[in-house]
Amino acid sequence: MTRRFIFILSAFYIFVPINTSGQKTDTVAAIHDNSLQLFYQNGYVFPTDPFLRGDNAVSDGVDAYQAFSLRFSKQTHGNKIWEQLYNYPDWGGGIYVADFYNPAEIGIPIAIYGFFNASFIRWRLFSFNYTLALGLAFNWKYYGPTNIYNLSIGAPFTVYIDAGINMAYRIAQRWDASIGVSLSHFSNGALKRPNRGINTVAPKIALKYHFNPERSAFNHQVIPVFSGSNEWLISIFAGSQNILTDTSNISVEDKYEGIYFPVFGILTGYNRYVSYKSKIGFGMSLTYDGSVNARIAIENGEPEVMDAPFTDKLQISIYPSYSLVVNKFSIILQPGFYIYRKKCAIQTPLFYQRIGLNYQIHKNLVAGLNLRAYNFHVSNYIEWNVGYRFPW
């Protein structure tokens, strides 16, 4: 799913937004154009683990689902340059409910999310759009002593990611209808194992109601020539690794809870803004992974960690970097390579992938989270980070 998400992000950027709605070149007074949208999906669940393929309590595969969502959106009008660069997107938040037709083992997950919807091409009544959504899902029936088959969801909370395309048409003064397709992903980023995740694809139909019957024209302003700039970014991050103990000599609670090991480190890198929407760069990270070469012994029925030397847990890696910039948000893609680490019994590949979301809290202060994965689909851990940029 990580690979699919990276591909979609790349494809979205390749298509340069085109606006053919004939807006005026001078600034116009914008009205409040807020709306409420309801959509429905019925689609396919990818069989990525034995539980979804039918190794479950009902001995039936989980291959279909349906979902409903209600969301509030705000239309931009080009009052800021970034709004025009992304062809006047709308954005907002919503609530999402899914049914995988196995509530006893999966539950009825509910997600609260934010979204960004922008146009590849736009006419007066019609638009062809792409959408990205990110949120938090809860109300799962997750892996545990009473739900031993569910290898897909190992925690009460997961991340909800959705990426798709749609075609929208204005059918009345206040109403729009749209049809599209999207890919969705649920996982906890290996905060709690097992974490095989659930991946879906489904067509989507939607109906949108605009509170204001008037729709103002879009502002079209002259965009200054981009001159380029640079930054040096230093960030610190922290996270954890959850390791399950496969033994019958400990309590049921300890067996399903597992052992948590700290992960922390520092990232430093150089970035060059190559356009208003993109920056590329190169960086290095120093990581401490507490799970490396740690052994677990059982003492009086309780797990005891037999730790390895501090230096065994240090890892150094390098990575090229690409960032898609949307106002104060940045979506980062960083393929990384370990250049130093100690050998251990269970070792991830030398090549890993980092995908993340950063937000500019203040002028030069940023915060966000990154998912470090390998083999393009296996989550390793989440990096919660805060950093400072030195621009010039």
Q: Residue 248 has what pLDDT?
A: 63
User: What is the pLDDT, as a whole number, of residue 76?
Assistant: 93
- Mean model confidence pLDDT for the chain: 89
> pLDDT tens-digit profile of 360-380?
999 899 999 999 999 888 889
Is residue 323 within 8 Å of residue 332, measured between CB atoms?
Answer: yes
Q: Does the structure show a pLDDT above 90 at 132?
A: yes
CATH fold label, 229-391: Porin (2.40.160)
Of 8-12, 125-129, 250-254, 371-375, the one with minimum mean pLDDT is 8-12
Tell me which of 26 and 178 has the higher pLDDT.
Answer: 178
More confident residue, 248 or 90: 90
Residue 228: what pLDDT?
86
pLDDT-derived band at 31, boundaries 50, 70, 90: low
Q: What is the pLDDT of residue 30?
A: 52
For residue 270, list its beta bridge partners.
232, 282
Measure Cα distances from 248 to 244, 299, 301 in Å.
12, 13, 9
Q: Which of 85, 117, 116, 130 is nearest to 220 (CA)?
A: 85
Q: Which residues sit opposite 268 in a β-bridge?
A: 234, 284
* Residue of 139, 181, 187 whose CA lies nearest to 160: 187
Q: Which pLDDT belongs to residue 3?
A: 47
CB 138 within 8 Å of CB 109? yes
Beta strand 302-306 pairing with 351-360: unpaired
CA atoms of 135 and 199, how far apart (whole Å) = 15
pLDDT of residue 325 exceeding 80, the answer is yes
Please state, as a whole number, how many other Cβ atoms lie within 10 Å of the Cβ of residue 226: 11
On the question of pLDDT at 115 being above 60, the answer is: yes
Q: 2-210 domain in CATH 2.40.160.20?
A: yes
pLDDT score of 230:
96
* Helix residue ranges, H only, 237-343: 252-257
Rounded distance, CA 311 to CA 290, Å? 10
For residue 23, pLDDT over 50 is answered with no
What does DSSP say about strands 314-326 and 329-340: parallel, antiparallel, or unpaired? antiparallel
Would the pLDDT of 16 be above 70? no
Measured distance between the N- and C-terminal CA atoms of the chain, rounded to whole angstroms: 37
Residues of the chain with pLDDT > 90, as a percent, come to: 71
Read off the pLDDT band of 253 (50, 70, 90): confident
pLDDT for residue 6 is more than 60: no
pLDDT band at 313 (very low <50, low <70, confident <90, very high): very high
Rounded mean pLDDT of 122-134? 94
> Residues 46, 200: contact at Cβ < 8 Å?
yes
Higher-confidence position of 209 and 13: 209
pLDDT, position 301: 65
Between 178 and 260, the more confident residue is: 178
> In terms of Cα–Cα distance, which of 269, 270, 320, 317 is closest to 289?
317
Q: What is the mean pLDDT of residues 225-230?
A: 90
Average pLDDT over residues 173-198: 94
Beta pairing partners, 259: 243
Q: Give the residue among 85, 93, 90 at the shortest CA–CA distance from 30.
A: 90
Residue 323: which pLDDT band, with cuts at 50, 70 and 90?
Answer: very high
Three-state SS for 277-304 is CEEEEEEEEEEEECCCCCEEEEECCEEE
pLDDT in tens, 59-109: 999 999 999 999 999 999 998 999 999 999 999 999 999 999 999 999 999
Q: Judge if the upstream peptide bond of residue 50 is cis by omega within 30 degrees of 0.
A: no
Contacts of 257 (CB under 8 A, 6+ apart): none
How far apart are alpha carbons 80 and 34 in whole angstroms? 18
The residue among 99, 41, 44 whose CA lies nearest residue 69 is 41
Confidence check: pLDDT of 356 > 60: yes
Which positions ≥6 away from 358 have C-beta within 8 Å? 323, 329, 330, 332, 366, 367, 368, 385, 387
Contact at 8 Å (CB) between 94 and 71? yes
Residue whose entry in the numeric block shows the structure tokens 């997961």: 158
Q: Encoding tokens for residue 102?
A: 């196995």
CATH 2.40.160.20 residue window(s) in the chain: 2-210, 229-391
Contacts 24+ apart (CB under 8 A), 3-8: 3/376, 3/377, 4/183, 4/199, 5/161, 5/163, 5/183, 5/185, 5/355, 6/333, 6/353, 6/355, 6/376, 8/163, 8/183
> DSSP character for 15?
S
Angle at 74 between CA 220 and CA 139, to 5 degrees: 145
